[in-house]
Amino acid sequence: MYRHNISSFGDYSLHELADEAAGNRLAIVPGFGACILALQLQGQSILDGYQAPTEMAINRWGKNTLLFPFPNRLKAGHYQWGGREYQFPVNDFQTGNALHGFGPANQAMEVSEVDIQPGQARIRCTFRYDGHFSHYPFPFVFSFGLLLTNPGEVDITFSVLNEGRSAMPFGMGWHPYFQLSDTVDELSLELPPCEMVGIGPAMTPTGKRYEYTTFTQLRRLGAEVLDNCFVLQQQSGRARITLMGSKGRMQYWQEAGPERFGFLQLFTPPHRRSLAIEPMSCNIDAFNNGEGLLRLESGQEATARFGFVFEAKK
């Protein structure tokens, strides 16, 4: 049976859902962008998370945090909407871009629901934004719901509601770092049919796309280096990814098609201990190129899901 425990993690509250008999445990910090510190399934730790409050505050690599009102990069932090120009703060100094929307330090979420049933536990975190940033003056409510089900399944739902009086642009994503082996080199990966987004020196799209077949069948990553965005060719249903390592096998999925998670970012960090598999509702720089961008009218809501099933190696 799952138990819900609340403790301190530096200046934040840490919420833990755990079923010791099943070997499942979720540790999440709602006040820091619903950052997930740890996720264990069937006794195996499958996420590379932060170990201390100071490490989380530095937020290096943006581990396991939420990405909104846009994921990935916004070119030079600049965009136009409704005939007006806006400027996000530039926080990716290597490329001169804005990166990952508000960032977790500005995404203090509150726990709005905890529900425990036999064999499963659910937590929902909610972020209410009143439009106070001049670079994004569009009020909204964003929610993150995670359902953990035995023996080893995670189902995540994102939803956003436009509470403003005018239309607003929106994109969303998650930044998980999966750790199924000691190193990325030992992992095997299989991707659904997709195209790789062409990017320039500033890591923003050139407008070109390329057929990508490297992982159309389950294949060892080896020395492969990835920091690329992919467009899923599937336009409905669930697009599926297989990831295998010494800890076990994960079947990851995300809802594909318009107003869902039609894009995917893969990233091998320099330490090569984990692989980021990032579902995104839109392309890089979507506030400018419009690719996959949600346009939400006043009072309109959008919802999309992704998740994964993990089976520990026996």
Structure tokens at 277: 């598999």
Contact 23, 43 (CB under 8 A): yes
Number of folded domains in the chain? 1
pLDDT at 225 over 90: yes
What percent of the chain shows pLDDT beyond 70?
Answer: 100
82: left (phi over 0), alpha (psi -120 to 50) or beta: left
Domain coverage including residue 61: 3-305
Within a domain: 218? yes
Instruction: Give, in degrees to the nearest 5, the angle at Cα 253 between 249 and 257.
Output: 160
pLDDT digits (tens, 9 = 90+) for 85-132: 999 999 999 999 999 999 999 999 999 999 999 999 999 999 999 999
pLDDT at 168 over 90: yes
Residue 68 gets which letter from DSSP? B
Contact 253, 240 (CB under 8 A): yes
Per-residue pLDDT band for 57 (boundaries 50, 70, 90) equals very high
Within a domain: 193? yes
Contact 35, 127 (CB under 8 A): no
Per-residue pLDDT band for 314 (boundaries 50, 70, 90) equals confident
Task: Look at residue 68 in the predicted model and tell me its pLDDT.
Answer: 98
Contact 57, 10 (CB under 8 A): yes
Q: CB count, 10 Å around CB of 63?
A: 22
pLDDT digits (tens, 9 = 90+) for 247-293: 999 999 999 999 999 999 999 999 999 999 999 999 999 999 999 99
Q: What CATH number should be reported for the domain holding residue 143?
A: 2.70.98.10
Within a domain: 314? no
Helix (H, G, I), strand (E, B) or coil at 53: helix
Within a domain: 312? no
pLDDT at 138 over 90: yes
Contact 159, 142 (CB under 8 A): yes
| Mean pLDDT (the chain, rounded) | 97
Between strands 238-245 and 301-312, the pairing is: unpaired
Residue 122 makes CB contacts below 8 A (sequence gap 6+) with 113, 114, 115, 116, 145, 146, 147, 148
Q: Closest by alpha carbon to 55, among 46, 65, 40?
A: 65
Q: CB count, 10 Å around CB of 300?
A: 14
Within a domain: 203? yes
Q: Distance between CA 250 and CA 307 in Å, rounded? A: 10
Within a domain: 277? yes
Peptide bond preceding 69: is omega within 30 degrees of 0, i.e. cis?
A: yes
Peptide bond preceding 89: is omega within 30 degrees of 0, i.e. cis?
A: no
Structure tokens at 265: 């970012």
Task: Look at residue 125 in the predicted model and tell me its pLDDT.
Answer: 98
Task: Look at residue 122 in the predicted model and tell me its pLDDT.
Answer: 98
Give the number of C-alpha atoms closer than 13 A to the C-alpha of residue 272, restricted to the C-beta side: 12
Within a domain: 92? yes
Within a domain: 311? no
What percent of the chain shows pLDDT beyond 90?
Answer: 99
